[in-house]
Amino acid sequence: MPSLAQRPIGVFDSGIGGLTVTRALMERLPFEDIVYFGDTARVPYGVKSVATIEQFSLQMVDFLLRHEVKMLVIACNTIAAVADAKVRAHAGIPVLDVIDAGSRNAVTATRSRSIGVMATPTTVNSNAYARGIHALDAEMRVYSQACPLLVPLVEEGWLEHPVTRLTAQEYLKPVLAEGVDTLVLGCTHYPLLKPLLAELAGPSVALVDSAVSVAEQAARTLAELDLATPNREMAHYRYYVTDIPLRFQTVGERFLGRSLQHLEMVQL
């Protein structure tokens, strides 16, 4: 019987965005098994109410708990913003999330103590990044910008398109006007826009990638709790989704940065 440490990490998201988090975990923790769950039949969560997001999230948590994961990673800013407390209360195992991890890295990175946050409307309206950052340092100034169009632009694959550039400029203008020196990419889709956003924001602004942040935190947490796998064989990855739409494989592999195998469709 495998030890607790040999169990997989459970990662979940409303859709495929969490694959950027999975990718960061694979790169940081190459021997850890991962079970991914994406609620692709009901994506996106960013336009849904809090009660609905909570309900859907706990359904995913129960699914992953049945797969005996040792730790949960909320790889979705919307879920982390509005349902993290419910998930933590329900899970009974360590739970990490992209907002907590991104907030910590932003506070560490800033010199001017002015942080910008780009995210979906629900994440911005939840005020979760501002709360996360202020819990660490109440003196920080936080400027948030809702960017509802960036997710569809990324999924369209227009990563360097003039429309994406114009849209990103529009969203960045008010944030940069506040003189931030640190910009949190508060949505798991945005790492694919990092080159464009870095160019538009300029060299004086540090970009904080929540996916990379939570992978670093996962490595620390597993070490602290003595839960890091002793395995040194090739890790196993499984992907469960509630729907496999057209172009899923293509878009998923763009997010994951590698081929997407062992994909299974399930109903919640």
Give, as ranges, the residues between 94 and 133 that touch a copy of itself (CB under 8 A).
Answer: 121-122, 125
**Contact partners, residue 186, CB within 8 Å, separation at least 6:** 77, 98, 99, 102, 117, 118, 119, 120, 123, 124, 129, 144, 210
Q: How many residues bind a copy of itself (CB under 8 A)?
A: 30
**Contact partners, residue 127, CB within 8 Å, separation at least 6:** 144
Taking the complex as a whole, the smallest distance from the CB of residue 39 to a copy of itself amounts, in Å, to: 10
- Nearest CA to 184 out of 245, 121, 104, 79 is that of 104
User: What count of residues does the chain have?
Assistant: 268
Span near a copy of itself by CB under 8 A; candidates 35-43, 58-66, 201-209, 213-221: 35-43
Q: How far apart are the C-alpha atoms of 257 and 251, rounded to whole Å? A: 10
By CB under 8 A, tell whether 249 contacts a copy of itself: no
Tokens (6 digits) for 268: 């919640």
User: What would the x/- binding string for a copy of itself be over residues 51 to 90, using CB under 8 A?
Assistant: -x--------------------------------------
**If DSSP codes are grouped into helix, strand and coil, which group holds residue 84?**
helix
**If DSSP codes are grouped into helix, strand and coil, which group holds residue 161?**
coil
* Residue of 21, 76, 80, 91 marked active site: 76
Span near a copy of itself by CB under 8 A; candidates 67-75, 89-97, 156-164, 210-218: 156-164
Give, as ranges, the residues between 157 and 176 that touch a copy of itself (CB under 8 A).
Answer: 158, 162-163, 166-167, 170
List interacting residues with a copy of itself (CB under 8 A).
40-43, 47-49, 52, 121-122, 125, 148-149, 151-153, 155-156, 158, 162-163, 166-167, 170, 242-247
Show which residues are catalytic: 76, 187
